Amino acid sequence: MVRKRKGNKKSNILLYSIVASVITILLALVVVLNQGSTNSEKPTFTSIAYPVVKLYRTSLCDCCGKYEGYLKSRGVQVQTVMMDPQGLLDMRKKLGIPSQLFSCHTSVLDGYFVEGHVPLEAISNLLVERPDVDGIALPGMPQGSPGMDGSKTGPLKIYSKTGDSITIFMEL
């Protein structure tokens, strides 16, 4: 038969309280540190290594230079190729970019074309997911897109092209 001492009950309660408090604090810490993360998270545009972007543009458009600055300010290496307007049109035809996707400049990276003021987030998704597409495009020169002045007036619709098919790649 085990004899209980009077002091043990208070000690045990105190010990259990301390252990419960420590466990609660550790669980709270784990929740805070893992907040918003899952095991299936994809790399972000700040965590992937970008290939050199070859940017084809004319000297007639200032926003192309702003887009180049946007990419460079985010750590992307850009090789700019200045062309006359006909040379840029010929480049687009060679890449198979249909006129409904045209913007003011065309980029080529890692086997894909990127037409227009496409946000880096979309380019990152392209490089991480590696879909079987020819490239992606943000047609026109939407206000508030990277390199363009003003505020966005709605979501930016980025399209992908595969062969003769054009579909929405993502909206930002």
Give the pLDDT score at 42.
44
Domain ranges of the chain: 53-171
Write out residues in the chain with pLDDT < 50, as ranges. 2, 27-32, 35-45
Give the pLDDT score at 31.
46
Helix (H, G, I), strand (E, B) or coil at 124: helix
Give the pLDDT score at 120.
94
DSSP conformational letter for 118: -
Give the pLDDT score at 43.
43
DSSP conformational letter for 138: E
Give the pLDDT score at 17.
58
Contact 106, 98 (CB under 8 A): no
